[in-house]
Every structure is written in structure tokens, then in C-alpha cells.
């Protein structure tokens, strides 16, 4: 479930103007009727890439964006969290940078989760937004227990 009001995404995409506003309204209404997220409906429609959608959502959330498919993941960092926990909460540590563990999640505003992860990692963290699809694709690469 999105961590923001989906009408903000609809408005932002209309303001960008790359996708026809009437088409966006149609997909928005279809997503409500089908009881799926507007993000999922947009991706299914092939009108926007997952990466471009993620960048737009990150702007709405005022959070830095990461597209994990474009990153080189550090195996020693990825394995800092148990795979079952990471998959359940859609959060993945992926790199060390300037003494911080970089975390990708689709829920960057979940302060309780981030506090627990910071405690578990015993490290400073920097949180970035990643789409659910990008996170799930990344987890599929790691078939063994992280």
C-alpha cells in the first residue's frame, strides 16, 4: 500500500505532462475499481517505467531515490539483514557510503521500522526510496537466504 495520497501522484504526473491527463484519470479510476495501487496500474499500462515512477514518488515523499537495478550491491552489506526480515518489510541494505549503510525501501516514512533496522545494523543509515517492483526484483536475485 502506498505511503502517500495517490491523488498526489496523479497530480504530479499531470503536471509533468508526459502522459495524457485523461488517460491518467482513466487508469486512476480503474485502479480504484480493481482495488490495486495506482502505481501498479500505471506500470501495468506501460505508460511509465518503474524507474520514472519511482523518481516521481520519491519527490512526493521528499526522499532520495535509488533504482537498485542500476546499483552494484555489496554482498557483505546486503546480508546484514536476514532475508526473511528484509523481504517481509521490503527493505534492503545495499551499500556502505561515508560510514552510512544505504537502505532501499518503499516505505521511507516508517520511522519505527527504520529505528529497528538501525539498531539491528548498529550503524548510521541513509534511507532511499525504491519501488516495490525494484525491491522484489532485487530479492529474486538472491535466491539463497541473505
Q: What percent of the chain is modeled with pLDDT above 90?
A: 90
What average pLDDT does range 14-26 have in this prediction? 94
The pTM assigned to this predicted structure is 0.88
Helix (H) or strand (E) holding 87: helix 83-89
Contacts of 8 by beta carbon, 8 Å cutoff, 6+ apart: 60
Question: Does the pLDDT of residue 146 top 90, yes or no?
Answer: no
At CB < 8 A and 24+ separation, what contacts does 11-18 make? 12/56, 12/59, 12/60, 13/42, 13/48, 13/56, 16/56, 18/48
State residue 141's pLDDT score. 75
**Residue 92, pLDDT above cutoff 70:** yes
Give the domains, in start order, of the chain with CATH numbers.
6-48 (no CATH), 68-141 (3.30.300.160)
pLDDT digits (tens, 9 = 90+) for 28-63: 999 999 999 999 999 999 999 999 999 999 999 999
Amino acid at each position: 500500500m502506498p505511503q502517500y495520497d495517490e491523488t498526489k501522484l496523479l497530480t504530479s504526473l499531470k503536471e509533468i505532462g508526459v502522459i495524457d491527463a485523461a488517460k491518467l484519470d482513466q487508469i486512476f479510476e480503474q485502479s480504484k475499481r480493481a482495488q490495486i495501487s495506482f502505481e501498479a496500474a500505471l506500470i501495468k499500462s506501460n505508460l511509465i517505467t518503474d524507474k520514472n515512477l519511482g523518481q516521481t514518488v520519491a519527490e512526493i515523499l521528499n526522499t532520495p531515490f535509488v533504482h537498485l537495478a542500476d546499483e552494484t550491491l555489496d554482498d557483505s552489506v546486503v546480508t546484514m539483514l536476514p532475508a526473511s526480515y528484509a523481504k517481509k518489510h521490503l527493505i534492503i541494505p545495499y551499500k556502505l557510503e561515508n560510514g552510512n549503510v544505504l537502505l532501499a525501501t518503499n516505505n521511507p516514512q516508517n520511522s519505527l521500522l527504520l529505528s529497528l533496522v538501525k539498531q539491528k545494523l548498529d550503524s548510521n543509515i541513509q534511507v532511499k526510496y525504491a519501488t516495490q517492483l525494484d525491491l522484489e526484483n532485487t530479492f529474486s536475485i538472491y535466491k539463497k537466504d541473505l
